[in-house]
Amino acid sequence: MPEEIDTKNKKTENKREPNYWKGFKEIYNDPEFSKKVNEDLTESKPKDANGMSRRKFLAFVGASAALAGAACTDYRDKGEIIPYNKMPEEISLGKPNFYASTCTLCPNSCGILIRTREGRPIKVDGNPEHPVSKGKICVKGQASILDLYDPDRLKGPLRKSKTGIFLKTPWLAANKTFITALDNADKQIAVITHQINSVTTKKLLGEFTKKYPNTKIYSYELFDNTIRNNAWKKSYGTDFYPIIKWDKAKVIVALQSDFLGTEGNRVENARLFAEGRDVDKVKNFNRLYSVEADMSLTGSNADYRLKLKPELQYNFVMSLLNEINRKTNIKIPINVSKFSLKSFAKKYSLDAKKVEFLVNDLIENSGKSIVYAGRSLPEKTHIAVNLLNEILGNTKLYNRKTSNYSVAGLSTYGDFYKLITDMKNGGVSVVIHFDSNPVYHLPDNMGYKKALKKVETVATLTESANESSEVSNFVFATNNQLESWGDAKTRTGFYSLQQPVIAPLYNTRQKEAVILQWVKGLNSKFKENLYHKYLMDNWRATIYPTLNSEIEFKRFWYGILNDGVVLKNEKIKSFGKFKNSSLSGLTTSPVKPNGFTVVIKESYALGDGRQANNGWLQELPNSLAQITWDNYAAISKKTAKKLQVQNNDNIKVDTGSGEKVYPVFIQPGAADNTVTIDSGYGRTKVGRVGEGAGFRISGLMSGKPTFSPWIYTNVKVARAEGTYTVVTDQEHHVFEKKPTENIFKKRGILFEGTVAEYEKDHKFLKNEREEERIVTPAIYPRHPELYKDVKWGMAIDLNKCLACGDCVIACNSENNVPIVGKDQIGRGRRMQWIRIDRYYSVSYDEPIISTQPMLCQQCDDAPCENVCPVAATTHSEDGLNQMIYNRCVGTRYCANNCPYKVRRFNFYNYRDRFKDGFQEEQLFDLIYNPEVTVRSNGVMEKCTFCIQRIMEEKAEAIREKRKIIGENVKVACQVACPTSAIKFGDINAKKSKFVKYRNHELGYYVLEEVNTKPNVTYIAKLRNTHTEES
Amino acid sequence: MSVDYSKDMVLFDRNPELVELEELISKPIDTRPSKKYFIALAITSTMLLIGVIAAGITFYYGIGTWGNNQTIAWGFGITNFVFWVGIAHAGTLISAILFLLRQRWRNAIARFAEAMTIFAVMCAGIFPIIHLGRPWLAGYLFPYPNSMNIWPNFFSPLDWDVFAVSTYMTVSILFWYLGLIPDFATLRDKTTSKIKKIVYSFFSLGWRHSNRHWRDYEKAYMIFAGLATPLVLSVHTVVSFDFAAAIVPGWHSTIFPPYFVAGAIFSGFAMVVTVLIVVRKIFDMENIITVNHLDKMNKIILLTGSMVGYAYLMEVFISWYSGVPTEQYVAINRAFGDYAWAYWIMVSCNTLFPQFFWSRKIRRSIPAMFVIVILVNVGMWFERYVIIVSSLQRDFLPSSWTYFTPSIIDLGILLGSFGLFFTMILMFTRTLPVVSMSEIKAVVEGAQPSHHGGAN
């Protein structure tokens, strides 16, 4: 309901002003314009709550998408649809605009670059200017575009009635009642938030605390680096564990750490790690050892992988210290005599050879190696690891130029226990969930949800309904991160800026603006730019002066908004020598493992679960298990045998706070007696997409963990009744026995070698390929006149590819790939155009993992083309295998005949079928890339190398009267790849960088003997092992 | 042992009178069907209705209602298509090739076999259309002049199918109708009903049994037989190209054309025998369609079954001999992998059980042959299923390997196709003479007097 200015509403409608996103118009500082903008933004529509009428919606979509001239992104404009008659300067129809911003979905606060079309954000990429993420962004950030257009978002503020039903309420009324509650709060006001990275948000919360002095701020993250930082502080005295120079490391030992997958800033880690995997500098190849219980992304990329239960990591590190002492006589300031590496390896059946390699490598590469303990390991292990790095001189790999920075620290479980006790005792009047979901995240045994019932007023600021909002009296619907202003500081040396790229789609407000309104009181009228102004003022007053900029503030401000970041000269606190005093708490005799261990792992796709309603993320297969839509209890084959369970059988897990049931997945390479479960699933109050996906883990966690908050030892595990089907896209073969032993190598799908082999003979792969080559005759006669001009090709460097799956989400977003849902994945009907193939070989216990991104190979002699009866898939003159959707009748013959199985058939109209038309709802249409056809039922589709981006370059070339430059085209997966493993370009541009990869001596085509002449080259993976054998 | 090939088969157990034959054959047309007939019709039309509903659901929701997936893009649809096209072949073989070879015993069964051909092609023809993702655009497969100057892709075996099957359908219908003309005239002359008279008069095209008519008729019949003969070989050859021309291991094989043709005749004869056993009993035609006829057909089943068995062995051998690992793996996987059950059903039904026909006793025993031909029908359906599904299931990239489970809609459509086939057969038996009256009269003792006496 309109709370303010209803009359203006009318006025603006009459004026028929085009209404588009305003941020950049302000650059021109047009006062009249900004006035109008504010009027438009503040107008609040009664219809918003009910949704727009279908007619209007169609009119809107028709006008914006089809005509592309009348487009205007602001849904608040209910005026008639007319084309731009006064063209906004920054929008050229048909050309995308890019805006820099900051992702706020996790504590890393990476820089993002948002592609908008006619004012409508359609894709999120990394911001190349950002010093940490450098143009890359993880899957969560990429998929956040889908959160923006999520039809399940809250459409406006809600108030719980006495009967427990949520009622729509105007902002004014909600604020009024809530402010009264705040004013009347005589006891504690608790604000619970995720980690605060924004300087301005911190200031704002400070002002709130000032106004309501009995406020306390609590912050938490489901996964954090507290243990590592605390250990560091004990060892070295400074606050933060330093940033590691992975690129400089020759030997990396990851102990129960998934630094390439989920720990720390994985985008940065992956990039730096991959710099040590450059085939052109093979001498600099790093060697990765992974010692872990679960099968992580890091483990799958390791040159050597050892299985070890997490509680034994301490013994392992101490044994390493002992062994190094024995071999080198380096003094160890702690008694490690009881730890013998040999007997340890024997006892826990670690491969003695691998352990020997590891020790020798560490000694030989001292100063160039790094041992990295996982964040979930307990403090003493971290201290022991710090010591190990110290005595090896590995402190050289600590980055001393920049360090992590925390705007505000996190609360401990102790703080929360205190809060909960207060709540139970009636000592808390108001609880505000500031975009956080503690009911879901906090361990169940802390009793937070129950305690919340004792609190009179509970408010939740959130984008969409969640477990915490469900038990609140007030729900304040907040903006998506793409509709919000903000700043972030996570490291020394720079600030990151966040700006909205679209006006709020619903009757929502930025969460900071809501608080600010409370601070200011109702006497000050709400304006959409409230927080924007506050942010600017804060910057002008506090940050701008510290930056010593010579540019006048306004211009400076636009400049940094444009860049998304601003650099700052900052010195970091230097750390000194290792403090031996920190060793006092370390036990000097080995700890013994007993029973089962449960490892709670951050889900690669879903993280802590706040994006559980995001279909792209739910449907992103775990790159190893290839499981979608669920989490599961991963156990080893031996453990499964012991428990007498098969895949999909239920097991009950009891960490001390009751039995919880999970379906089993037998993970090759998992450590015995260990159960690994991903976080982020099992949301009970979530939108339609996330409903029923997986199982929650808070029941396993404890507020008073004995070992570590994410690892529980001595757990009771037993077989439970029933089964639950977990769906996967790839069968779980381990190609260990005939006739399928190493089948993928024999068939020429994956060639691998070792660094030693390559150094000895750069052409080893070529020779190998020559030997095994069977030339199948070509189907078509040669046409030397073809492909004279440009011919598109791709090269994928398997040395750099980590199999993370970032490319999959990028492709989904760029190419309008539909979500199909769990049942369809279970039926083998995945739609993603690019996928990560995973092959296990050697054995179930110690598998070797080979992965490979697979997409349309754009074969010159494409087997799909000659079998299509209606010529719906044809070849273009620049070497692309095209799909003509309009012509396709859906015989699926092409899919059968495709040896790479990369063609995707629309078995249903998935937009209609998935969750009852979820993808056909009003807002959903706005997410589509207007350059790519939205496919319907019965049509075949597949990757076409982002032909729309190629056409963009073509148009540009024609306009500029030049030739097409291959490297100007950046395809979506290439842009997203955090390690830049994907290269794209013109095969005929002989001098280009791309062609070097295309003709690389390690390059090969998949299934060469089929002779389809693919245009995707794979650079064979080199394993950095000690032998020449791969 | 010496066999006298110059001697013809005994065509009738007891030499009938010409009028008796006419009465017997036209009896089902002239009399009111019994209750049993309507019960049978109710069953088959219910099956048909289930199929129509299943197809309707497919049409409305999409191919997703079937069991197909991204790896196994063809499942029941194409299996059924090939199965029914195969069934069709027996009819043309009997009516055309055996005619040209002067196998006069065929006269008793030719009409029925031809009718089955047409019905089977109708069943088959449905599948390529309903298996399309967008069946309403099926017309794109035909070459028609259009403003955009787009033609079908003549490289595609699926497009060859369009021509092969539609040609086959057209020729079969014309050939069948040609043979029916004298019979229509006979019926016209016999009937007392006014409506029937008009209908028969229309279809008999003014036939007056004149000498000249007979001469022209015989000529035309001969020409059509000549036209239809190559089709027996070509249609299934083209259908086999759907597989042979693809690169999928397990499909890409030069043995496919002869193997498919043999399989088609094999399954077609099995189906003819299955239905004739029932029909001759119900319509008291045991004297016209004798055990001798069935015996002959069983011999052909034995022959073609052995040819099919040879093809199975040869496929395995070639996959080993080729040295292509993917081919070898498909062969191993068929026999021992996920679809081993289907493979062994196929092998046992198609090569093992027909071997019982070496025994004359079994060849002439109605219950024994009934069981065997039913098994052959099952086996031949599974043959297509194995070829399609087990090859696609384990092709080049192991990452895409998967399993096919049919949906209830798949089963419904399969059931519906049988429903359509048998409904058509039932209606045919009551509307048209199931045995060609003119042809059967021609082989009765003394029908064609000669100087040498006897039937020749």
| Per-residue model confidence (pLDDT) at position A485 | 92
Distance CA(B79)–CA(A705), nearest Å, equals: 59
Q: How close, in Å, is residue A78 to chain B by CA atoms?
A: 35
Whole-number CA gyration radius for chain B: 23
Task: Find, among B53, B90, B120, the residue nearest to B425 by Cα.
Answer: B120
Q: CA-nearest residue of chain B to A887?
A: B140
Going by pLDDT thresholds of 50, 70 and 90, the confidence category of residue B33 is confident
Q: Shortest CB distance from B153 goes to which of A739, A869, A1010?
A: A869
| Per-residue model confidence (pLDDT) at position A35 | 52
Q: How close, in Å, is residue B262 to chain A by CA atoms?
A: 25
Residues written for chain A: 1030
DSSP summary character for residue A125: E
What does each C-alpha distance from A39 to A6, A15, A19, A32, B54 come to in angstroms?
11, 12, 11, 11, 57
Q: What is the mean pLDDT of chain B?
A: 88
Q: Where are the beta strands (DSSP E) in A563-656?
A: 565-567, 596-601, 627-628, 633-635, 649-654
Residues contacting residue B77 through CB under 8 Å, at least 6 positions apart = B66, B68, B127, B128, B130, B131, B413
Contact B138 A889 (CB under 8 A): yes
Going by pLDDT thresholds of 50, 70 and 90, the confidence category of residue B47 is very high
Domain positions in chain B: 18-143+152-442
Q: Shortest CB distance from B71 goes to which of A839, A901, A909?
A: A901
Question: Which H helix or E strand runs over A275?
Answer: helix A266-275
Q: Look up tokens 């978002």; give the residue.
A: A153
| Per-residue model confidence (pLDDT) at position A434 | 92
b/e burial code for range A967-1003 (CB count within 10 A of at least 16 → b): eebbbbbbbbbbbbbbbbbbbbbeebebbebbebebb
| The pLDDT of residue A4 is above 50 | no
Long-range contact list for A357-360, CB < 8 A, 24+ apart?
A: A357/A304, A357/A1026, A358/A253, A358/A289, A358/A304, A358/A320, A359/A320, A359/A323, A359/A324, A359/A327
Residues in B 158-177 with any Cβ partner in A closer than 8 A: 158-159, 162
Distance CA(A223)–CA(A504), nearest Å, equals: 30
SS3 A67: helix
Going by pLDDT thresholds of 50, 70 and 90, the confidence category of residue A969 is very high
- Stretch A955-980: mean pLDDT: 92
Q: CA-nearest residue of chain B to A835?
A: B399
The ipTM, to two decimals, is: 0.91
Longest Cα–Cα distance in chain A: 87
Write the pLDDT tens digit of every residue in A53-109. 555 555 555 544 544 443 344 445 455 666 677 777 777 788 888 999 999 998 899
B129 touches chain A (CB under 8 A): no
Write the pLDDT tens digit of every residue in B294-314. 898 899 999 999 999 999 999
| Per-residue model confidence (pLDDT) at position B6 | 53
Start-to-end Cα distance in chain A: 68
Residues contacting residue A541 through CB under 8 Å, at least 6 positions apart = none
Contact A907 B402 (CB under 8 A): no
| The pLDDT of residue A874 is above 60 | yes
Distance CA(A141)–CA(A109), nearest Å, equals: 10
| Per-residue model confidence (pLDDT) at position A476 | 93
Q: Look up tokens 């381990």; give the residue.
A: A734
Residues in B 10-49 with any Cβ partner in A closer than 8 A: none
B322 touches chain A (CB under 8 A): no
Between CA B388 and CA B392, with CA B391 as vertex, the angle to 5 degrees is 80
Of A526-540, A576-590, B267-281, the least confident: A576-590
Among B61, B65, B127, B247, the residue to mutate for chain A (most A Cβ within 10 A): B247
Write the pLDDT tens digit of every residue in A196-235. 999 999 999 999 999 999 999 999 999 989 999 999 999 9
Distance CA(A998)–CA(A1016), nearest Å, equals: 8
CATH architecture of residue range(s) B18-143+152-442:
Up-down Bundle (1.20)
Between CA A822 and CA A827, with CA A825 as vertex, the angle to 5 degrees is 115
CATH architecture of residue range(s) A587-728:
Beta Barrel (2.40)
Question: Which H helix or E strand runs over B90?
Answer: helix B76-92
Q: How close, in Å, is residue A232 to chain B by CA atoms?
A: 43
**Quick one: chain A helix, strand, coil %, rounded to 5?**
35, 20, 50
Q: What is the mean pLDDT of chain A?
A: 85
Going by pLDDT thresholds of 50, 70 and 90, the confidence category of residue A329 is confident
Domain positions in chain A: 1-84, 158-223+407-567, 244-397, 587-728, 734-1023
| Per-residue model confidence (pLDDT) at position A44 | 38
Q: Shortest CB distance from A871 goes to which of B128, B150, B242?
A: B150
Long-range contact list for A305-309, CB < 8 A, 24+ apart?
A: A305/A669, A305/A846, A306/A350, A306/A351, A306/A354, A306/A355, A307/A350, A307/A636, A307/A669, A307/A670, A307/A671, A307/A672, A307/A845, A307/A846, A308/A256, A308/A348, A308/A350, A308/A671, A309/A348, A309/A593, A309/A597, A309/A671, A309/A673, A309/A674
Strands A166-168 and A158-160: antiparallel
Write the pLDDT tens digit of every residue in A671-713. 999 999 999 999 999 989 988 889 999 889 888 888 889 999 8
Write the pLDDT tens digit of every residue in B210-225. 899 999 998 999 999 9
Contact B396 A895 (CB under 8 A): no
| Per-residue model confidence (pLDDT) at position A13 | 37
Write the pLDDT tens digit of every residue in A122-159. 999 999 989 998 899 999 999 999 999 998 999 999 99
Q: Shortest CB distance from A889 goes to which of B134, B150, B392?
A: B134
| Per-residue model confidence (pLDDT) at position A15 | 39
Distance CA(A679)–CA(A105), nearest Å, equals: 15
| Per-residue model confidence (pLDDT) at position B388 | 92
Contact B70 A887 (CB under 8 A): no
The dihedral through the CA atoms of B383, B387, B392, B397 has a sign that is positive
Same fold, A244-397 and A587-728: no
Write the pLDDT tens digit of every residue in B167-192. 999 999 999 999 999 989 988 888 88
A158-223+407-567 maps to CATH 3.40.50.740 = yes
| The pLDDT of residue B62 is above 50 | yes
Chain B residues touching residue A824 (CB < 8 angstroms): 64
Concatenating the DSSP letter of every residue in B179-209 gives: HHHHHHHHHHHH---HHHHHHHHHHTTT---
Q: How close, in Å, is residue A773 to chain B by CA atoms?
A: 11
Distance CA(A591)–CA(A1002), nearest Å, equals: 46
| The pLDDT of residue A37 is above 80 | no
Distance CA(A915)–CA(A921), nearest Å, equals: 11
B132 touches chain A (CB under 8 A): yes
Chain B residues touching residue A903 (CB < 8 angstroms): 70
Q: How close, in Å, is residue A823 to chain B by CA atoms?
A: 11
| Per-residue model confidence (pLDDT) at position A18 | 38
Whole-number CA gyration radius for chain A: 29
What does each C-alpha distance from A582 to A227, A256, A265, A332, A338 come to in angstroms?
14, 22, 27, 13, 20
Q: What is the pTM of this model?
A: 0.88
Going by pLDDT thresholds of 50, 70 and 90, the confidence category of residue B10 is low
CB A681, CB A691: distance < 8 Å: no
DSSP summary character for residue A922: G
Write the pLDDT tens digit of every residue in A892-920. 999 999 999 999 999 999 988 888 888 88
Chain A residues touching residue B409 (CB < 8 angstroms): none
Distance CA(A314)–CA(A322), nearest Å, equals: 12
- Look up residue A360 and give its two tokens: 């020798």
Distance CA(A153)–CA(B450), nearest Å, equals: 94
B148 touches chain A (CB under 8 A): no
The domain A244-397 is placed in CATH, from the list 3.40.228.10, 3.40.640.10, 3.40.50.1100, 3.60.21.10, at 3.40.228.10
Write the pLDDT tens digit of every residue in A746-804. 788 888 888 888 888 888 888 877 776 666 677 677 777 788 889 999 999 999 999 99
b/e burial code for range A177-188 (CB count within 10 A of at least 16 → b): ebbebbeebebb
Q: Shortest CB distance from B73 goes to which of A854, A900, A905?
A: A905
Among B76, B387, B400, the residue to mutate for chain A (most A Cβ within 10 A): B400
CATH code for the domain defined by A734-1023 = 3.30.70.20
